[in-house]
Structures are given as C-alpha cells and as structure tokens.
C-alpha cells in the first residue's frame, strides 16, 4: 500500500510542477509577445514619421519654388506638423510601454 501511495504522491508532485512550469512559461511568452508587438508598432510609427517629414520637406520646397510663404499655421504645413506631432506622441507612448515591460 505504501508503494502505491508513494507513486501517487510523486505523480501529483510531477503534475503540480508541470502546471507551475507551464504557467511561468505562459507568462514569459505573453510578456515577450507584448514587447515584440510594441517594438513592431514603434518601428511602423517611425517609418510613418520619416515619410511625413519628407512630405513636409517636399511641400516646403514646392512652396519655395512658387514663391509662396512658408507659414507653419497654414496648410499644407499645419497638417504635416500636426501629423508629425501625433506620430511622435505615438512613438513616445510605445517607448514608455516598453520601459514598463522591462521591469
């Protein structure tokens, strides 16, 4: 009878250890996945930011060539600057979230 009880105890301990290991692994994978998604999103926003800055530069060049005043509070410059501001905020938000995930 003791042998049977010992085997059952070992099996229960093994099952419990497996459950704990899987739980820890799941947490680690979730954390890794969240960080990866944030890094990808950050890179996407950085690419959009570069394109928007290039577009702003092109608009400024076009205005310069046509002798149109370049005023930051008028279109098309205003919309470019607002978009740039929003993209920078999105990038900063992702950076902050990544820092939180590091801890």
Q: For residue range 10-61, what is the model confidence (pLDDT) as tens digits?
A: 667 766 766 676 667 666 656 667 788 899 999 999 999 999 999 999 999 9
Among candidates 63, 85, 89, which has minimal Cα distance to 76?
63
**Are 60 and 70 a contacting pair, CB within 8 Å?**
yes
Can you tell me the distance from the alpha carbon of 26 to that of 50, in angstroms, rounded to the nearest whole number? 36
Does the pLDDT value for residue 1 go beyond 70? no
Give the per-residue pLDDT at 76.
92
Predicted local confidence at residue 14, as pLDDT: 67
| Per-residue confidence (pLDDT) for residue 55, from 0 to 100 | 95
Domains of the chain by residue range: 1-101
């Amino acid at each position: 009878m003791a042998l049977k009880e010992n085997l059952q105890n070992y099996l229960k301990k093994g099952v419990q250890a497996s459950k704990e290991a899987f739980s820890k692994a799941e947490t680690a994978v979730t954390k890794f996945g969240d960080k990866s998604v944030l890094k990808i999103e950050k890179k996407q926003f950085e690419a959009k930011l570069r394109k928007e800055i290039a577009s702003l530069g092109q608009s400024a060049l076009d205005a310069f060539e046509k002798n149109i005043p370049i005023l930051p509070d008028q279109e098309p410059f205003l919309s470019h600057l607002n978009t740039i501001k929003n993209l920078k905020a999105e990038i900063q938000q992702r950076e902050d979230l990544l820092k939180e995930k590091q801890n």
